[in-house]
Amino acid sequence: MNKEKIKPIIVPTYTEEKASKKSFLKKYPFFQKNKTSKKKIERKSHVLRKTPMIMPFLDITEDYIVMKKGYYMDIFQITPNDLHSLTDTDITIKLLEKARFYRSSASQDKVVGLNFPANTEKQRLYWERKRERTTDPLRIRSINRKLFELEFLERERTNREFFLFIYAKSPQTLEDEKKQVVRGMRQSFPLQTLSNEKKQDILFMMSNQNSKL
């Protein structure tokens, strides 16, 4: 009985297998997958053009704020009253005076309430001067504790402030409306004039309600 020689099994190497696969795909191109190259999209940083279109304000001066659609506006701060320290008669008188003002006035106005950070700058300057003039360690420790409390209040606490927005279609009409409103609210809730910086802070907070000053 003739014994046949067993032929060894030759396993192709990785490079040979890859080359044969490429030749097979070239021979039968319909097996190839269509691979679309993805183009990288470069995003350019730019300011949204819609922002000036959405904002209703155009300019701010010492006397008024210029708005779109031919309107002018000014802002006053309403002086609050401590209702807990007033009697029922005083509260009734103030409410009646306020109601009389609304009945007699035809001005276009709106009351807005905003939360502003507590401002303790004057108190901090006072205690810093005290600390510079003293040498007592216990006194300095007490002053540092006071300064820490003031900084905490300014960082974490807010004050509720109320403002009166007055609108008109011309600067002269706005000036007349402002005089009438200041005179009409003098007995109930007096109005305070604001600086341009304060007005800008108010407009910023109204347009960016999730931001802090």
If one compares 57 and 124, the residue with the highest pLDDT of the two is 124
Ranked by mean pLDDT, the top range of 8-12, 138-142, 203-207 is 138-142
If one compares 188 and 127, the residue with the highest pLDDT of the two is 127
pTM surpassing 0.85? no
Cβ-contact 206, 112 below 8 angstroms: yes
Whether pLDDT at 13 is above 70: no
Q: What is d(CA 177, CA 24) in angstroms, rounded to the nearest whole number? A: 89
Average pLDDT, the chain: 78
What is the DSSP secondary structure assignment for residue 102, as one 8-state letter? H
User: What does the pLDDT average to over 124-133?
Assistant: 91
Q: What is d(CA 41, CA 154) in angstroms, rounded to the nearest whole number? A: 45
For the chain, the structural domain boundaries read 55-117+160-207, 119-156
At the topology level of CATH, where does 55-117+160-207 sit? Alpha-Beta Plaits (3.30.70)
Whether pLDDT at 127 is above 80: yes
User: What does the pLDDT average to over 196-211?
Assistant: 82
If one compares 103 and 30, the residue with the highest pLDDT of the two is 103
Cβ-contact 76, 198 below 8 angstroms: no
Residue in this structure with the two tokens 């609304």, named with its chain if needed = 102
Whether pLDDT at 49 is above 80: no
What is the DSSP secondary structure assignment for residue 163, as one 8-state letter? E
Whether pLDDT at 177 is above 60: yes
Q: Write out pLDDT tens, residues 19-40.
A: 555 565 555 555 555 555 555 5
pLDDT recorded at residue 63: 85
Whether pLDDT at 77 is above 70: yes
pLDDT recorded at residue 42: 58
In percent, the amount of the chain with pLDDT more than 90 equals: 17
What is the DSSP secondary structure assignment for residue 49, as one 8-state letter? T
Closest CA to 94 of 108, 80, 106: 80
pLDDT recorded at residue 141: 92
User: 185-190 contacts: CB < 8 A, separation 24 or more?
Assistant: 185/78, 185/98, 185/101, 187/94, 187/97, 188/94, 188/95, 188/97, 188/98, 188/101, 189/78, 189/79, 189/80, 189/81, 189/94, 189/98, 190/78, 190/79
